Amino acid sequence: HQETRTNMMLELLRSLFNRMDFEDLGLVVDWDHHLPPPAAKIVVENLPKTVIRGSQAELKCPLCLLESEEETAIEICILPWLSKTNSCPLCRHELPTDDYTYEEHTRDKAAKQQQQN
């Protein structure tokens, strides 16, 4: 009798679990309607760095449009940007993130697009 009751409870839980909308519960992020997470720290750390000096110092940063004064554009503009989102601020290319769920979403989305083509 106890075993039957346990099996019934497990079936009930399994049934409820399958009908649950995890997005409504806040357990799953709908990445199509949220900003992407920051770029992966290791990727950001390995970005090439260019120091602007001398005659190049009059060049303007393509992001903020301010003239550079022997500072690196990556430290002034790009690093703060990539600490908020994983896309290049110029071309919108997406860099890898440290967020497993976002990376899984990106792979699933790419696979679905490939199936449609």
DSSP characters over 23-86: TTTTSS--GGGSPPPPBPHHHHHTS---B--GGGGGSBPTTT-PBPSS-BHIIIIIHHHHTT-S
Question: How far from each other are the two terminal CA atoms of the chain, in whole angstroms?
Answer: 54
pLDDT tens profile 63-108: 777 766 545 666 778 888 899 999 988 888 999 999 998 998 899 8
What is residue 5's predicted lDDT score, i.e. its pLDDT?
Answer: 78
CATH number of 22-116: 3.30.40
- Residues 77 and 89 sit within 8 Å (Cβ to Cβ): yes
- Residues 96 and 39 sit within 8 Å (Cβ to Cβ): yes
pLDDT tens profile 16-49: 666 555 555 555 566 566 788 999 999 999 988 7
Residue ranges of domains in the chain: 22-116
Q: What does the DSSP 8-state code read for residue 98? A: S
pLDDT tens profile 56-65: 556 677 777 7
